[in-house]
Structure 1
């Protein structure tokens, strides 16, 4: 992290510490206790303490609000490079995010950039195997139904990101970017957080899953360190909206656990670079030149081999990079290695974090992810131990 970014993070530290332990005044909102029962390296934010809290959040995302949700802005990182970038260096990065389809948005290729790199640490990886859903679906084999969109509220605004179901002991776990669950600039966690797997043009074919706890590394919550821009969110069993008895009303219908319905991607850490990787997400925002190839309504992917990536301003020091034209909206979407197109399953090895314009033509051509290491696995293990209260 650059001296200027580090000074900004230091200035934010007191605010973050003050805000992180303060419970909101209204029911169903987030109450963060990063240094309570969670390990010292983890910020864990409880969103729901009862089934009533879960229903309150679900009712917030009623069918009418969900219909309008696509009009909201994709979540973006709050801490950005502030130093000027030499004309010969890649342009400053911006957050990724948006909608995508099962069709390829980029072919297999090797990512290249003129930026300096930092070697990543390799070693014996921690590995969690992927799981199939209990019911096989006709869409499996074309695109991963584990991937979907998350919607949430920070302050008085609603946002959205991309995310994926991950195999876990609680069978209700979602992986996304840390900036999709926590505002590092304000030191404020997201509220009213939901996940919709298999999202396609507003449809919720596999249910809606209300967030129970947000779990991320303290380096992101306390410092806005984007080398730790990942989070694991435990969720409640899902539900879908069905027409109520009275005209114009809706009722919640339970659909069971996330993993039972869509399965879960595996997880792997410390795998190094040069791996064939599939990045999925819902890009939506325009490029810097104003062109807008994505609309955020369906799933897109890129495929290629990873390398290390360092931001010109040291905002990201140990990231992985992949050649891909994703724009904002894809943030939080999974990077999968050892991916099997037939089962649409692989191993989570990163998440969309930043997009880059490396040739300075005002169009993004590279995306980056934090490098998954042992501390990533620690956050994952804590998150899978968080179980939502039963209805």
Structure 2
């Protein structure tokens, strides 16, 4: 995939964002995730369908390593050079008083399909930005390391809990990271900022007319509702929407017989195409009906209809029917077609819904931070104290000296004593965390987990040092504009 590599142009940046020194020559890499509304709609629906079944199926994504590495001090304080800077947080959470650590509303999970198609997740947080649409996470939770590509169906779910998305799903549109991570797999730049579309949720379905159903640009399907014989008589005026179903071999009659009722018989497209239009034995019964189905229904279907995928990536089956006119029998049931559309709801920009943490760079090491994440992986000794269902935290001062990890080409990471395990990847390190307001300044994201004393337990985590180059990438990402993927009616934007 061809990259967009552009040096930072500091002119025109907002006063709230401090640019890197004019002498710096930073570079970044950017990649589209799912910028088109149709693709974004499909990605959101993929994770929300069947009451969040795909969300519950996902497992934590961790870096491939046979053993937890040891973080080795470089012997240098490695204070970031350049002028310190930060952007202030925004919040939609009321201030509270608590002796415990209050969990930020901004944190959540990012979900994606890895290179083998497995359902995966990492930790992340919403951050402040010009367009209120940015997510911060680890670079390895967005970019396939060593493959010069990004993961598929990438979404952010703030406040995720047991398959639920209380504040909606935010589909990734564009991702930004360090050039060296993207190109050389250098984990000194293991961070990413992702511009996301507006939030997306599924509202209750609605029954519509056949005309509205055919014109609907979002998800839609057909249900068969059983009705009474009296309702069937009234419904006969809407030929092609009502039918009967019985058992055995009832007597065939003509459509004008006073007792005649019509069955619909599913046939192949070829048979349907040859059938005549009108009322009569073997004539076409209505127009073909295309319904969206689950992957399991798609695989199990053995009927004469045609299978395929629509432009949203949904599995579909198109059914073709002909008429069979019979005398009603005692065991006959009556049905009416219900044309159902799925309503999608636009929730607005991420920052307007959950707020955003501030971002800080070129800060000295050795400061108090609070790290959040959804740990789930077992410790190296096999013990599994975390479930990944709810976010956890650890707090302390980062080490005053930077560390290196040869396994992941790390020369200068910051280190924090912490027992969170894999799954917390990408979780924010918040400087100056205000427990009442639940806000702080992202000054790192969890990258590597280490067992420094060799006892089979994770005891330290590390993060890229947020320096001037991180600020450059952030400044570039925060100007990327995104928006809604569905109309106020709930249809797909074209």
TM range (shorter): 0.7 to 0.9
Whole-Å separation in 1 of the counterparts to 2:34 and 2:120 = 19
Deviations 1:137-174 (A, max 9, x none): 98998210100000012332221100000000010100
Is 1:245 aligned to 2:203, yes or no?
no
* Residue 11 of structure 2 is aligned to residue 51 of structure 1: no
1:182-193 aligned at under 5 Å gives the runs 182-193=143-154
Aligned length: 332
Cross-structure match for 2:27: 41
CA contact (8 A) 1:50 1:389 kept: no
Cross-structure match for 2:388 = 296
1:343 equivalent among 429, 437, 450? 437
Deviation at 1:256, TM superposition (A): 1.0
With over 3 angstroms needed to count, the CA separation of the structure-2 counterparts of 1:114 and 1:369, relative to structure 1, is closer
Provide TM-score, normalisation by structure 1.
Answer: 0.78
Aligned-residue offset at 1:209: 0.5
Match of 1:305 in 2: 397
Aligned CA distance change for structure 1 residues 160 and 139 (closer, same or farther; 3 Å): farther
Specify the SS of the correspondent of 1:63.
helix
Query: What residue ranges of structure 2 are gaps of 5+ in the alignment?
Result: 10-25, 208-222, 224-339, 486-494
Give the deviation of 1:365 after TM superposition.
Answer: 0.5
Counterpart of 1:262 in structure 2 is 354
Q: 1:387 — aligned with what?
A: 481
The question of 1:327 aligning with 2:418 is answered no
Quickly say closer, same or farther: Cα 1:92–1:164, change in 2 above 3 A.
Answer: same
Distance 1:278 1:256 in 2: 29
Q: Could you say if the C-alpha distance between residues 76 and 117 of structure 1 is closer, same or farther in structure 2, counting changes exceeding 3 Å?
A: farther
CA contact (8 A) 1:243 1:249 kept: no
- Note the aligned Cα RMSD (angstroms): 2.6
Query: Residue 317 of structure 1 aligns to a residue in which SS?
Result: strand
Aligned pairs for 1:1-391 (under 5 A) are 20-21=1-2, 33-35=3-5, 41-64=27-50, 66-78=52-64, 92=69, 115-122=73-80, 123-133=82-92, 136=94, 142-155=102-115, 156-245=117-206, 250-307=342-399, 308-311=402-405, 315-391=409-485
Query: CA 1:114/1:356 → structure 2, altered by over 3 Å: closer, same or farther?
Result: same
Report the Cα offset of residue 241 of structure 1. Answer: 2.0
What is the distance in 1 between the residues matched to 2:202 and 2:407? 46
For residue 259 of structure 1, give the secondary structure of its aligned residue in structure 2: helix
**Conserved? CA contact 1:144–1:345, under 8 Å:** yes
State whether residues 96 and 437 of structure 2, in contact with CA within 8 Å, keep that contact through their aligned partners in structure 1. Answer: no
CA distance in 1, matches of 2:110, 2:407: 30
How much has 1:312 moved relative to structure 2? Answer: 5.4
Contact 2:156 2:171 survives alignment (8 Å): yes
How far is the alpha carbon of 1:243 from its aligned partner?
Answer: 2.7
Q: Distance in 1 between matches of 2:48 and 2:355?
A: 25
Deviation at 1:77, TM superposition (A): 3.0
Structure 1 Cα separation of the partners of residues 60 and 390 of structure 2 = 14
Q: Which moved more, 1:43-52 or 1:352-361?
A: 43-52
In the alignment, the residues of structure 2 paired with residue 294 and residue 226 of structure 1 have an alpha-carbon distance, to the nearest angstrom, of: 25
Equivalent position of 1:11 in the other structure: none
Deviates more, 1:191-200 or 1:50-59: 50-59
Bigger shift: residues 206-215 or 242-251: 242-251
Is the 1:118–1:310 Cα contact (8 Å) retained in structure 2?
A: no
How much does 1:242 deviate? 2.5
TM-score (norm. length: structure 2): 0.63
